[in-house]
Amino acid sequence: MSADELAWQVVRLPHDWAISEGFTQQATGSSTGFLPGGIGWYRKSFKLPESWRGQRVILVFDGVYKLARVWLNGQEVGGRPNGFVSFDLDLTTVAHYGEQTNELLVRVDHSAYIDTRWYCGSGIYRNVRLVSTARTYIPESGVWVQTPEINADRATVTVTTTVVTEEGKARPVQLAVELLDPAGQVVASRNRSFPNGAPAQIVDDFTVPHPQSWDLVTPKLYQARVRLERDGQPLDERSISFGVRTARFDARQGFLLNGQVVKIKGVNLHHDAGLVGVAVPKDVWRDRLVKLRSVGVNAVRTAHNPPSPEFLDLCDELGFLVMDEFFDEWSVPKDKSLVWLGDNKAPPEVNHGYSELFAEWAERDVKATIRRDRNHPSVILWSIGNEIEWTYPYYSNASSLNGDTNYFTQAPDFDPVKIRERMAKVHPGPDELLAIAQRLSGWVRETDPTRPVTSGLVHPSVGFATGYAAALGVVGFNYRANEYDGAHAMYPSACIMGSENWGTCAEWEAVQSRDFVAGMFIWTGYAYLGEAGPWPRKGLEISLFDFAGFQTPRGAMFECLWRSTPKVWVGTTRAEDSEYSQTAEGTWKFTQRAYEPPAMKWLRRWEWDRVAATWNYPAGEDTIVQVYANTEEVELLLNDRPLGRQKMADWPDHIAKWAVPFVAGRLEVVGLNGGQRVATDLLQTSGPLAAIQLKSDRSSLKANDTDVVRVELQLRDAAGIPVVTADREVIFDITGPVRILGVDNGWESSVQPYQVNHVVTWQGRAMLLLQAQDQVGLVTVTARGAEISSPAIELKIE
């Protein structure tokens, strides 16, 4: 079929066709969230000005998922199989200039639709740029800024510029480098001239007096402005943001930023953002990062692939630490699921993942990602892999806990002699995992020796014994907090970090109480699509914020653990549904719920308690009340009647509990420090549904085709109390120059379409995302359901 025979539709980039088509059980799978793959074509016709003739014309893709192939005017000009790596293509000799039209075709092949263990999206899902430069130019990642020496008085800034010069030109080229401080003032500069010739790397060292540090509170950013000229005529220019900061891991002290110990309070994030899929506007990432910061998060692991450049820009700007990760699998594929998470039954014909490309592309992908991302001060680690040992079973077989289903909680033997003896028996041949890890680490250090290499290990005891851990600068422990002490005792010079954690109080205690553990990364910061099932469970809400961006009970708990601002939170559960129960003696016991197929038997380890912010039950219903707090004491009141005061120090799990028969009214928790009231939280019994409330997170947007506003919907009764037990379908009526990005209610089992104007609420809430168009005007938004409606809210597009 030719391109002219295809049924074309107009789309805006970035674009994720899977999220647009919606959820289905046909030709999809649980690993990737029951969203479709397939093959997609993109076509664009455009003209280039005559003035560009004789210039160099480059097309830059920040990410295409996946197996991208690109044609211009009928001639294939390149592509990239890796769906997460940026790439650029030279169109110079193929392009038409002047009045003749160019036709660009991009083929995206995601027909192997269960090729990963999570949702990856489909299409040209990141930004695309068309760039024109002279034939003497600076490549896309051709400027590298380093800060090798920093103290309070001065910083040494090294700018390395790669220049490709035009053959046959006799006149020399001038290179101008300026450093601008956070206020935009030039603080250092240099001009030099050099002859034409082979590609050159020009190194300039500068001294910046009294540098302003990039840190988590005041993330000051400098600019390196690099210009190429010949005889006063501009050839090319790059402007690179960078930060003046030191970042170091220490085997005894953990992580130090600018010489100060900082505990990493991190989360793992996949690259989807719920209702927008993987085509995520910058404002959506900004909102998500700001919310994570609000609960104390200071770091992100990009699980398990390189992020978008815009995401790293935001982390630089907002002051987040980043573990930039390359791969989830190396040369051997991981199992993927078809119907439910853990069934591992994805058919081979739709499970062609990156492992098939690894041998040919890994070095290029690693080095390209590092060159693109190494100027970002937020990036403190390069991660070469995640749980790779699962694909090399001899690592599991060499563990002292091999075959023990309690290996998540039991500490293994770290004696390297014994482990090597077992390894020799179960795998007498060469250790392919070790060989690949050493090769990957070598490529990383070759491209950026300033940051350590890490990987998320599931069998650290074996990794230390084989040399896998020695290939790393920082050893990541995935779900192995119980192994910190054994590893540190046997390998006291190793830097250790929790790279993936369930997100429990006990795991944080394990980090907080050990100086030598740099920090932890919770799985996950936001609910994500994929690792799902059975239908209609589209993904996992095991996070600090749900799919729609509402804070979860786990988020409230970690806000109490990770922030010092007084905070209390109260939630309830029917006693018969709760895992907590009170004995006749008044003590408390915990009975963990169990799962059988079609659910992974270990799923509860990631899930949170079934607790919700509601006080609506049948009269006399026995309930369990849970209170999270970072105050010294908490007091519970029911209709202003005290039900008892408790010290939080008496609860090792940081959850104060009460058994309370339901009585309608007000359930209030008060947090006290020194006997003084410093924080409160309140639940109220709601009456019948009577109203809809809308609230936006901003009142104006720029007419730039980019800005995004969040509109939250809450069902309420006649007294304005939230109604969480009477969900309804609501319809949004919108006028003005905006487009709907999508609607969602945050529930992991909602498979309603996203890109529509209606949604059924979940626990009384829903979310609408709108994006500004390129016109000014007034936007009005209302919501209506059966016999109820909201007042209008107005937004200005300026």
DSSP 673-715: ETTEEEEEEEEE---SEEEEEEEES-SEE-SSS--EEEEEEEE
Backbone phi and psi for residue 341, each to the nearest 5 degrees, phi listed first: -55, 120
pLDDT in tens, 125-168: 999 999 999 999 999 999 999 999 999 999 999 999 999 987 76
Domain with CATH 2.60.120.260 in the chain: 3-131
Backbone phi and psi for residue 5, each to the nearest 5 degrees, phi listed first: -90, -10
Q: Could you give the CA distance from residue 301 to residue 521 in angstroms, rounded to a whole number?
A: 7
Domain with CATH 2.60.40.10 in the chain: 143-242, 564-684, 689-797
CATH of 3-131, one of 2.60.120.260, 1.10.340.30, 3.30.560.10, 2.40.30.40: 2.60.120.260
Count how many Cα atoms sit within 13 Å of the Cα of residue 578 in the half-sphere of its side chain. 23
**CB 719 within 8 Å of CB 687:** yes
Q: Could you give the CA distance from residue 798 to residue 796 in angstroms, rounded to a whole number?
A: 6
Q: Could you give the CA distance from residue 634 to residue 644 in angstroms, rounded to a whole number?
A: 8
Question: Mean pLDDT, 10 residues at a time, over the chain (798 residues)?
Answer: 76 96 95 96 97 96 98 98 97 97 98 96 97 93 96 96 81 92 97 79 95 97 96 93 98 98 98 97 98 98 97 98 98 96 94 95 98 98 97 93 68 94 95 98 98 97 98 97 96 98 96 98 97 94 96 98 98 96 91 90 93 96 98 98 97 96 98 98 97 97 97 97 96 98 97 97 98 97 95 97
Q: Could you give the CA distance from residue 277 to residue 125 in angstroms, rounded to a whole number?
A: 9
Q: Could you give the CA distance from residue 133 to residue 144 in angstroms, rounded to a whole number?
A: 19
Q: Could you give the CA distance from residue 68 to residue 172 in angstroms, rounded to a whole number?
A: 38
Specify whether the backbone of 184 is left (phi greater than 0), alpha (psi in -120 to 50) or beta: left
Q: Could you give the CA distance from residue 84 to residue 267 in angstroms, rounded to a whole number?
A: 20
Q: Could you give the CA distance from residue 157 to residue 421 in angstroms, rounded to a whole number?
A: 49
CATH of 689-797, one of 3.20.20.220, 2.60.40.10, 1.10.510.10, 1.10.8.60: 2.60.40.10
Confirm or reject CATH 2.60.40.10 for domain 143-242, answering yes or no: yes
Q: Could you give the CA distance from residue 283 to residue 771 in angstroms, rounded to a whole number?
A: 9
Could you identify the residue written with the tokens 């890490």? 454
- The pLDDT assigned to 492 comes to 98
The CATH fold of domain 564-684: Immunoglobulin-like (2.60.40)
Distances (CA, A) of 516 to 485, 491, 532, 761, 784: 10, 11, 35, 46, 55
Q: Could you give the CA distance from residue 63 to residue 80 in angstroms, rounded to a whole number?
A: 9
3-class DSSP assignment, residue 485: helix
Nearby residues of 287 by Cβ (< 8 Å), 6 or more positions away: 549, 697, 708, 710
Neighbour order of strands in the sheet with 260-261 = 247-250, 254-257, 260-261
Q: Could you give the CA distance from residue 149 to residue 156 in angstroms, rounded to a whole number?
A: 5
Quote the longest CA-to-CA distance of the chain: 93
**CB 379 within 8 Å of CB 373:** yes
**CB 368 within 8 Å of CB 313:** no
- The pLDDT assigned to 273 comes to 97
Strands 588-590 and 641-647: unpaired
Domain with CATH 3.20.20.80 in the chain: 263-540
User: Class assignment of domain 263-540?
Assistant: alpha beta
**CB 272 within 8 Å of CB 304:** no
Distance of CA 593 to the CA centre of its chain: 29
Q: Could you give the CA distance from residue 581 to residue 571 in angstroms, rounded to a whole number?
A: 15
**CB 453 within 8 Å of CB 379:** no
- The pLDDT assigned to 166 comes to 78
Q: Could you give the CA distance from residue 477 to residue 407 in angstroms, rounded to a whole number?
A: 13
Q: Could you give the CA distance from residue 426 to residue 566 in angstroms, rounded to a whole number?
A: 54
- Angle at the Cα of 637 from the Cα atoms of 633 and 642, rounded to 5 degrees: 85
The C-alpha torsion from 593 through 595 and 599 to 604, rounded to 10°, is 30
Q: Could you give the CA distance from residue 344 to residue 390 in angstroms, rounded to a whole number?
A: 13
Strands 641-647 and 633-638: antiparallel
